[in-house]
Structure 1
């Protein structure tokens, strides 16, 4: 009555439906595992230097070099559905035109639970400059260590592990590197 092809089609449709239900259950169960990691973030020094702009050699551009210390225990974020963590240090400030800026100045990928205890002291990995070409008269910036949990199955979740207690002002510009 039923051919072999229709039976194979029925079995594969049933198995794919079961697989989708299992993946949906895994994705929904990730919301049960909520962790709140804590860390410390300290800005040790900021140096603002005037340099030539990349595309316009006759135009000056201010570059900020931020030295920071990060300590954080992110092991509570790892569970059976965590593939990796993406950490990033973000500077939040408002420039003199009143535009709010969020700039990523450092990042790291953590793939294993054993590497999730962060104790790092260094400077920004990426160039930190303002579109107005100067940090003069800019309000102080606040810095935060944020994370992104990348699961095997399900939605990405974002969070914040540490934040500076008070905003840090930009120092006066130095002449050259």
Structure 2
């Protein structure tokens, strides 16, 4: 047990912070029919982004893999804070830990109120979860947008 505890504690000593850059190139909000209710309209947001991150400092002898995800944080019209994962990736090797990705959200981004109208701007952040062979999971942030980004007006789907 003492050996496992020493291994787990050494992971905190060896950990250093990664560097990254996150840019949101465009956001498009489209009105669409809801999945379960065909007569109800719902807004969907499509976020186009650029990620550049060097996560190699997170890999050491006790790192099994990284879970990397892009999160949108915003407060809806009822005043409830929402944190929505819109993209993710698992990084299993140190050789794959330099991320350069241009794309759009992988998961559907919608608000429970069915509309992005009158919602304050959102902040976007690139976060990670280090999964070790032995020890506790550690979380962190690799990049964040410099300013909050507003949702554009809704467009009707063609």
From the CA coordinates, give the structure whose radius of gyration is larger. 1
In structure 2, how many angstroms separate the alpha carbons of the residues matched to 1:31 and 1:165? Answer: 28
Give ranges in structure 2 of 5+ residues lacking alignment.
none
Structure 2: how far apart are the matches of 1:51 and 1:70? 28
Aligned length: 158
Cα-to-partner distance string for 1:67-108 (whole Å, 9 max, x where unaligned): 000000000000000000000000000001100000000000
- In 1, distance between residues paired with 2:17 and 2:30? 37
User: Residue 126 of structure 2 aligns with which residue?
Assistant: 145
Match of 2:47 among 66, 70, 80: 66
How many angstroms does 1:30 deviate by?
Answer: 1.1
State how far apart, in whole Å, the 2-side matches of 1:55 and 1:151 are. 40
Structure in which a larger fraction of residues adopt strand: 2
With normalisation by structure 2, the TM-score equals 0.98
CA–CA separation in structure 1 for the residues paired with 2:125 and 2:63 = 22
SS of match in other structure, 1:26: helix
Deviation by residue 1:16-38 (Cα, 9 ceiling, x = unmatched): xxxx2211111111111121111
| Corresponding position of 1:4 | none
Aligned twin of 2:69 = 88
Relative to total residues, which structure has the larger helix share, 1 or 2?
A: 1
Give secondary structure in 1 for the equivalent of 2:44. Answer: strand
Distance in 1 (CA, whole Å) between partners of 2:57 and 2:6 is 21
Match for residue 158 of structure 1 among 98, 118, 139: 139
Q: State the alpha-carbon separation in 1 of the partners of residues 9 and 79 from structure 2.
A: 41
Name 1:13's counterpart in structure 2.
none
**1:168 is aligned to 2:149:** yes
Distance (whole Å) between structure 2 residues aligned to residue 59 and residue 67 of structure 1: 26
CA distances 1:99-150 after superposition (whole Å, capped 9, x unpaired)? 0000000000000000000000000000000000000010000100000000
The structure whose RCO (Cα within 8 Å, separation 6+) is larger is 2
Q: Residue 8 of structure 2: SS of its match in structure 1?
A: helix
TM-score (norm 1): 0.88
In structure 1, the gaps of 5 or more residues are: 1-19
